[in-house]
């Protein structure tokens, strides 16, 4: 989790069956060979295998989720994931329950998490994030985003 404040809302049980399923999946030796698309796993976890070119920060959007925790794991390439708290942000696109996503207007108050191959970040509902941001130049990135149900 990326958080600067400990509270009930950002203490998730990493020993839960859902997180165990997610992290076991990341131990697979064939991650780089997986085709793009979604894979339904046990305990309500879904893996989304993605391949894209990293983007200019201005072309991305800050987002958050309510029902699902993101585990974003980079297989190839590198990117920044900007992260901040929701407090003080203004909503650009209201919550869409079907896609479990809210989009926010830009903010200058965020931290940059550099994700290199083998790195991951865990992003809970309190973690507004803008992924896919290029480091220096745009480059191909292969990433797995695991969607883990919130269990509070």
pLDDT at 43: 96
Q: List, for the chain, all residue ranges whose pLDDT scores fall below the cut of 70.
A: 1-12, 152
- C-alpha to C-alpha distance for 114 and 79, rounded to whole angstroms: 6
pLDDT at 22: 97
Q: Are strands 46-53 and 120-123 parallel, antiparallel or unpaired?
A: unpaired
- C-alpha to C-alpha distance for 144 and 132, rounded to whole angstroms: 12
**Torsion from C-alpha of 68, 114, 28, 44, nearest 10 degrees:** 0
pTM of the model: 0.89
Q: Three-class SS of residue 151?
A: coil
């Amino acid at each position: 989790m990326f958080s600067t404040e400990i509270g009930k809302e950002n203490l998730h049980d990493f020993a839960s069956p859902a997180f165990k399923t997610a992290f076991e999946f990341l131990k697979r030796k064939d991650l780089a060979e997986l085709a793009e698309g979604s894979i339904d796993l046990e305990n309500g976890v879904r893996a989304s295998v993605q391949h894209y070119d990293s983007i200019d920060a201005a072309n991305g959007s800050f987002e958050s989720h309510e029902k699902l925790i993101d585990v974003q794991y980079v297989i190839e390439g590198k990117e920044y994931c900007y992260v901040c708290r929701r407090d003080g942000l203004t909503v650009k696109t209201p919550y869409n329950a079907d896609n479990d996503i809210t989009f926010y207007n830009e903010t200058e108050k965020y931290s940059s998490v550099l994700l290199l191959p083998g790195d991951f970040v865990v992003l809970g509902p309190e973690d507004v994030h803008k992924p896919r941001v290029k480091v220096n130049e745009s480059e191909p990135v292969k990433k797995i985003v695991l969607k883990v149900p919130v269990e509070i």
